[in-house]
Each structure stands twice: as structure tokens, then as C-alpha cells.
Amino acid sequence: MNHRERVRAVLHDQAYDRLPLVSFGYWPETLDKWAAQGHIAKEDADGYRREEDNGPADRRVMASLGFDFNWCSTVGGNNYLMPLFTEETLETKPDGSRVIRNVEGLIEKVNDHIISIPAFVGTSLTGREAWETLYLPKLTYSEKRVDEALFRKLAQESDKREMPLGLYVGSLYGRIRNMLGVEELSYLAMDDEDLYREIIDVVGNLCYRVAEKVLSYGVEFDYAHYWEDICFKNGPLINPAVFRELVAPHYARISKLLQSNGIDITSVDCDGCVDLLVPIWLESGVNTMFPIEVGTWNASIAPWREKYGKTLRGVGGMDKRVFALDKAAVDAEIERLKPLVDLGGYIPCPDHRIPPDADFAITAYYCQAFRKAFG
């Protein structure tokens, strides 16, 4: 079997020869550290920054560690702001930090010497006028959003491909959060509900049309994939009832489109405690949870499987914190994963990108131990 066949078999609860060894990439700083220690080439650390997941640099790093492929091996059309805003520095503080307007129009505090999520300061999406003049034109569908040559080529290669390929469908709420920030988005829902609903609908419709166009070229995708990140350690950043009413219909519509094109595995990348959103996703055709964060809220596929049955699949759920520990910790983690793998429909994968405290040799040891345990 090749990796493509393995993924399809595992997620459809069919027989397979061995589990694929899946990666979720790294923090760029992790690769900088490993390059400085001589474990990987500096060009690959730099290349990963440029190419991101599953590019040539990522593939070389994965090969040196022992991973088979990156779950975020997806392609898609441009279903977001096009073009992005131009990043600009609005203010430089005495401590070296900067207030910037980022490419999504968000105003945030960054510090080039600090590895962290930026601090929210404000948004350019300040109301209807800003929406209609600055954002709406960037969220309008056109055929330029889809690279015809790429998808024609992928369609021709569909039969030969040995690696799984996902269709990146977009983000129906996470990117909206990115444009406004959690606080401003929450205020908007209260202060201008019509605009709030309109933004959700515009983004949902854009994602649908881009996916529809991509699928028209006949590429045989193995799964579809969303990025959301709309939860924190204690639960969702949106009221689930609002999510069900306003966002879920867009998932359901896109799922119908995907299913009519033979795609029955749809994963969603959402950090944090997703428990309350899982049933809404499942009802809307999103059936594969990723990355199942162990570190922040002790997530596991087991209770979901018990509650929702085999319709729910999972990729993730491997506690990446062991990469900073020792071989015994890795061995214990592999033992913890064994009964979860036995549930079927589940592929372990680090529960987030590998952080800078990870040790290269221990990460490589995880790959060896995984192979030994799972074939």
C-alpha cells in the first residue's frame, strides 16, 4: 500500500498494512535550532519559512526525522482576502516592539525578538463602511482565485499519486476572527448583527465558489480540510448556538458539494477545547478532528468515539511535549496511543507544530518507536 491508500483505509476503518507516520510541521524557530545544531541544513530551515508545509524543505526535514508526510498537505484556491493588505508598521515602541497593521488588516503588537502569538490592538474592519470599501472587494469571487494550470496538472496525476492530497476548503469563522480579533468580533455581533451575518455569509459563499471551481477540474482529492482555530482551552470562542445557526449551514452546503465530488473525509484544524463544536461539525459533514490537542485540555478521540461512533475520525492527539523529554517519555506516549489506534479511524499525529524546546534526536526516536509499534 502507498500512503494515500493507507490514509484512505485507516479513515474508512478498512484493513491497512501499517499506520502512516504523520507530521504537523514545526515552529520555524525549531528548525533554526536544529540547523544551528547541525541536524538539518540551514537552507531547509529557511526554506520551510518560505514554503511552509509539505514543500521540498519540509519533505527533507520529515525524511531526516522519519515522518511520512504532513497532514496539511493541501492545495486549494484563494478563498480569503485577495490581495492581502500590505503590512505596515504604525509605531515602534522604545522596547523594540512594533504596532503593525498585518496582512489581514488586524492591528497588533509584535516583537521580532519574541516567539509568540502577537497581541491584539485593534482592527481595520471598524464598521460597515470599512467592510464595504476595504474588505468586500477583497472577498469577491473571480476565476483568478483558482490556478487552472495547477489543478489540470493535478487532475492528470490523480491516478499516479502515492501521497494523500487534501483540498483546502478555507475557513468559515477562524479567518473572520483573524480579520477582527476575538473582542471586536464579539462586539460586532452585538452592535451590528446584520453586518456580522453578512460577513459570515460572504466568506462562506466565497469558500463554496472557490471549492466548486477547483473541483470542476476533476482532481481526485483524498480529503478536504478546513482551518478554524476558534476554541481556547476551556471551549469555543463563539457561542455554539450562534455557530450552529449562522456558520453550520455553510459547512453543510460545502459538504454536499464535496460529497458529490467523491470526498467523504473532511477534517478541521481547530486548536483548543472543541467538544461543544464537534456535534455541529459532524452534523454538517465535517467528520475528522485535527489536531486533538492533548497538551492544553487532555483531548482524546476516545470519548468522542464513544459518543458519536465511527462517523467521527481523528488525526492528531499525540502529546508533542514528549519531544522535549526523553526516550522513556516517548515510549510511554506510544503505549498511551496504542488503544486509541485500536479504535480504528484514527491516525496519531503531534497535537500541534513541534515547538523549539523539542530535541531532534528524541523526535527522531518517536518516529522509530512509532514504526516499531504500528508497522
Partner 1 sequence: MSLFQEISENLQKGKAKDVKELVQKAIDEGYPAKEILDEGLLSGMGIIGEKFKNNEVFVPEVLVAARAMNMGAALLKPLLVKDGVKSCGKACIGTVKGDLHDIGKNLVKMMLEGKGLEVIDLGTDVAPETFVETAINENCQIICLSALLTTTMSGMEDVVKAAQAAGIRDQVKIMVGGAPLTDAFCKKIGADAYSPDAASAAEIAVQYCTV
Q: Does 235 bind partner 1 (CB under 8 A)?
A: yes
Q: Does 355 bind partner 1 (CB under 8 A)?
A: yes
Interface with partner 1 (CB under 8 A), residue from 124, 205, 239, 368: 239
Q: What is the DSSP letter of 265?
A: -
Q: b/e per residue, 151-189, with b = 16+ CB within 10 A?
A: beebeeeeeeeebbbbbbbbbbbbbbbbbbbeebbbebb
**What's the min distance (Å) between Cβ of 187 and partner 1?**
6
By C-beta, is 36 or 182 nearer to partner 1?
182
**What's the min distance (Å) between Cβ of 49 and partner 1?**
18
By C-beta, is 29 or 147 nearer to partner 1?
29
By C-beta, is 168 or 196 nearer to partner 1?
196
Stretch that binds partner 1, among 59-67, 68-76, 207-215, 228-236 (CB under 8 A): 228-236
By C-beta, is 179 or 238 nearer to partner 1?
238
Nearest to 316 by CA among 339, 332, 281, 340: 340
What does the alpha-carbon distance between residue 102 and residue 117 come to, in Å, rounded to a whole number?
Answer: 13
**What's the min distance (Å) between Cβ of 234 and partner 1?**
5
Q: b/e per residue, 108-142, with b = 16+ CB within 10 A?
A: bebeeeeeeebeebbbbbeeeeebeebbeeebebe
By C-beta, is 104 or 222 nearer to partner 1?
104
Stretch that binds partner 1, among 145-153, 154-162, 304-312, 355-363 (CB under 8 A): 355-363
- C-alpha dist (Å) from residue 78 to 84, 208, 216, 301: 11, 11, 15, 31
Q: Does 238 bind partner 1 (CB under 8 A)?
A: yes
Q: Does 233 bind partner 1 (CB under 8 A)?
A: yes
**What's the min distance (Å) between Cβ of 5 and partner 1?**
36
By C-beta, is 99 or 134 nearer to partner 1?
99
The residue count for binding partner 1 (CB under 8 A) is 38
Binding mask 265-304 for partner 1 (x = CB under 8 A): -------x---x------------------xx--------
What does the alpha-carbon distance between residue 71 and residue 223 come to, in Å, rounded to a whole number?
Answer: 10
Q: At what angle do helices 28-36 and 42-51 cross, to 10 degrees?
A: 170
Q: What are the contacts of 95-100 at 24+ separation with CB within 8 A? A: none
Nearest to 139 by CA among 126, 130, 151, 148: 130
Q: Which helix (H) or strand (E) holds 3?
A: helix 3-11
Q: Which of residues 316-345 bind partner 1 (CB under 8 A)?
A: 321, 324
**What's the min distance (Å) between Cβ of 239 and partner 1?**
5
- C-alpha dist (Å) from residue 119 to 97, 114, 149, 320: 11, 11, 39, 25
Q: Which of residues 176-215 bind partner 1 (CB under 8 A)?
A: 182-183, 185-187, 189-190
- Contacts with 255 (C-beta within 8 Å, 6 or more apart), sequence order: 266, 284, 285, 286
By C-beta, is 81 or 110 nearer to partner 1?
110
Cβ burial, residue 232 (10 Å; 0-12/13-18/19+): middle
Q: Does 357 bind partner 1 (CB under 8 A)?
A: yes
Interface with partner 1 (CB under 8 A), residue from 9, 136, 150, 242: 242
Where do contacts with partner 1 occur on this chain (CB under 8 A)? 95, 97, 109-111, 114-120, 182-183, 185-187, 189-190, 232-240, 242, 272, 276, 295-296, 321, 324, 355-357
